[in-house]
Chains A and B, each alone.
Chain A
Amino acid sequence: MTGVARNRVLDWIKTNLFSSPFNIVLTFLLLFVATKLLWNFLDWAVLRAVWGGDAETCRHGAGGACWAYVRDKARYVLFGHYPYEQQWRPQLFVAIFFLLSLLTQFKRFWSKYLTAAWVVLPLGAAGLMWGGFFGLTHVEMEEWGGLPLTLALAFLGISASYPIGIVLALARRSEMPVIRALSVIYIEVIRGVPLISMLFMAAVMFPLFLPEGITISKVVRAQVAIIMFASAYMAEVVRGGLQSLAKGQYEAADAIGLSYTKKMVFVVLPQALKAVIAPTVNTFIGLFKDTSLVFIISLSDLMFTTQASLQDADWLGFTVEGYIFAAFVYFVFCYFISFSSSRLEKELKV
């Protein structure tokens, strides 16, 4: 290291960590506490942890984390009651989502083929999980669970609520008072109530409003509730984008004689939606986390399978390990979404 480089490092340390006597004390205190906490955690999670065996091995272990529990339960937590030997199907489902999200990261892959793949492949994978062709056994939707269900609820929720939200936002800024009023009522009522009450509606109230003889499965009803809920929030985000646009853009589009549809599709929306990428993604992340609420109406999503795995009489008492595993899965997805959004913003140079 040259003298200049060393000085730069020392300067950096001095300005960022030791700028005043108070900061010196604070830095050392924090270092001490943080290392101690980190060390305790590593000691529990790595050094004294039990990595294999059964519950008894864990109970007679060194008192560390019982990852044997996660090893034993991971397949159930991730794929629920889906027949064990057939679980390559939901695994493929999850893998397809991974692959598509990964490809979407890079601008050079963006094409109509990728868009088509986003429509066709998840549908195909869902068909694969459904089965009933090419000698694949049919698996009832009630047996789908865990991560694929969470992903499906979130993916369909996002892809349906985005366009509906745009329509609602445009309706809220419409010149027609009736359309505007209906849109305002819808958005404000939905945003005013908790998601749980919407899910209760889906679970116990929707069936009352269906004509006799028609039944819709609870998963679909919950999906509809999630879409209705998320649309209202999306609408407000999009409205923010519409408002942020300079008035001249609207006027210019009118001046060159564009119709309403053309004005919106080619001039207003591309700019408005680009301006609100960050809040849009925050809404998506919120929706992804909110899918966990379907647990309360007993749909077997990731949250539900996690809770159910903790009830196993053979493995009682490893709650923390179970929750850490579930939290890790949720965290990875949410962090990935927000990471991609900041990349997207850079790619589009907002």
Chain B
Amino acid sequence: MHYDASGKGIGISSLWRDVTKRKYTIQVLVLVGVVVLFSVLINIASDSLQKQNIASGFGFLAREAAFEIGETLTSYSAESTFGEALLAGLLNTMLVALLGNFLAVIWGAVVGITSLSHNLLLARLARIYVDTLRNIPLLLQLFFWYALITEFLPAIRDALNPVPNVYLSQRGMFFPMPEWGATHGWALVALLVGGIAAIFLYRWQKLRQQHTGQLFPFYRVAAALLLVPPLLAWLIGGAPVELDVPVLQGFNFEGGLALTPEFLALSLGLVLYTGSFNAEIVRAGIESVKKGQKEAAVSLGLSRSQALRLVVLPQAVRVIIPPMTSQMLNLTKNSSLAVAIGYPDLVNVANTSMNQTGQAIECIVIIVFVYLSFSLMTSAFMNWYNHMTRLVER
């Protein structure tokens, strides 16, 4: 028998028969298995790379890219390096992700609250919207919006002109932009100062309320703080009203702000699709707050809007935020579908670089690294948020 007096296993077989030792055996075996698997794979890969004469490593990032990118936020040209191309792609991804998430959260909140409306017709219409969009692949929706813009909007010569100086055509959307000047810079500084003042005001009024119970009309004063200083700065600067207006020159519009069909289709598709998921989250969050909470608040003498703002929403938000952040992450990841309609996001640019250089592993590593850091930052935020809003029990 391989057991000693205390019932502990001895000998080789005890590595498996003894429950405590078995745990270590399993872990060592699994770890060894994983290490062996990876080293075999890496060996094979470096062999096949050598045979195909592909130099592994990130040296290619400094080489000339020699391809154009449709739209960039940086001064990129075909002479720039692969590194700069990937940076331009990354910035495009971030632009779509920030704008898309901002709009998708607002849109989701609007639709989610609408689907709880006392007006049955309104609620039903919101439900139909949510059920339809959630059950159709995002890729198909992107193709649909892209086709709608590029095939069914008029050609650039007959561009729609719904509002003066705003044009809508199959080449995209064109807006006027204020002519940038020093005054606008000062207005921006004033806005920043107003914002910081508002934050301090918030803390002060909260402390005062805790000590004395006196209420302070914070939202009205804060709105004034945010609006008045920039407006004053703008007026003092002579109230410049020059606009950079899009003008049809040759085959395209010059000046103003241009949004390409790819950008429009991608943003629209992402916002409407993710918005339908966000709507469900908001609806479920509000429904999760027990009816008694609202009734108790009203019977304490709070008004309906106070009950909603001070009692119902803070509890709903606790339920809403975690799934909402994961939807924000989904939107960011889904923005990689840009590759299908030709918007130059990170994945699209990396795909082009991959085809041109054959550096498949490196390009995929870059994609994985970027998205992984987005999601790690988000989960770090989530942990912090959960810690901040945890229920403090007695």
Contact = CB atoms under 8 A, between A and B. Distances in A.
Interface of A: 16-17, 19, 23, 26-27, 30-31, 34, 175-179, 182, 188-189, 191-197, 200-201, 204-205, 207-212, 285, 289-290, 292-293, 295-296, 303, 306-307, 317, 319-320, 323, 326-327, 330-331, 334-335, 338
Contacts of A335: 131, 135
Interface of B: 23, 26-27, 30-31, 34, 41, 44-45, 47-49, 118-122, 125, 131-132, 134-140, 143-144, 147-148, 151-152, 333-334, 336-337, 339-340, 347, 351, 354, 360-361, 364, 367-368, 371-372, 374-376, 379
Contact of A192 (B26, B118, B376): B376
A296 B144 CA distance: 16
8 contacts: A17-B120, A19-B119, A178-B31, A188-B376, A189-B372, A192-B376, A208-B48, A320-B144
A323 B375 contact: no
A133 to B, nearest CB: 35
B26 A176 contact: yes
A175 B23 contact: yes
A31 B121 contact: yes
A31 B121 CA distance: 8
A306 B136 CA distance: 14
Given A176-B23, A293-B139, A319-B147, A23 B44 contact: no
Contacts of B121: 17, 26-27, 30-31, 34
Given A200-B354, A292-B137, A208 B144 contact: no
Q: What 7 pairs between A and B have smallest CB-CB spacing?
A: A192-B375, A334-B135, A16-B120, A178-B27, A194-B333, A289-B137, A292-B137
Contacts of A331: 132, 135-136
Contacts of A194: 333-334, 336, 347, 367, 371
A23 B337 contact: no
B319 to A, nearest CB: 14
Contacts of B367: 193-194, 197, 200
Nearest to A326: B140
Contacts of A176: 23, 26-27
Given A205-B360, A296-B339, A330-B136, A30 B122 contact: yes
A16 B45 CA distance: 65
A303 B44 contact: no
Given A178-B30, A194-B371, A200-B354, A209 B41 contact: yes
A212 B48 CA distance: 8
B143 A196 contact: no
A320 to B, nearest CB: 7
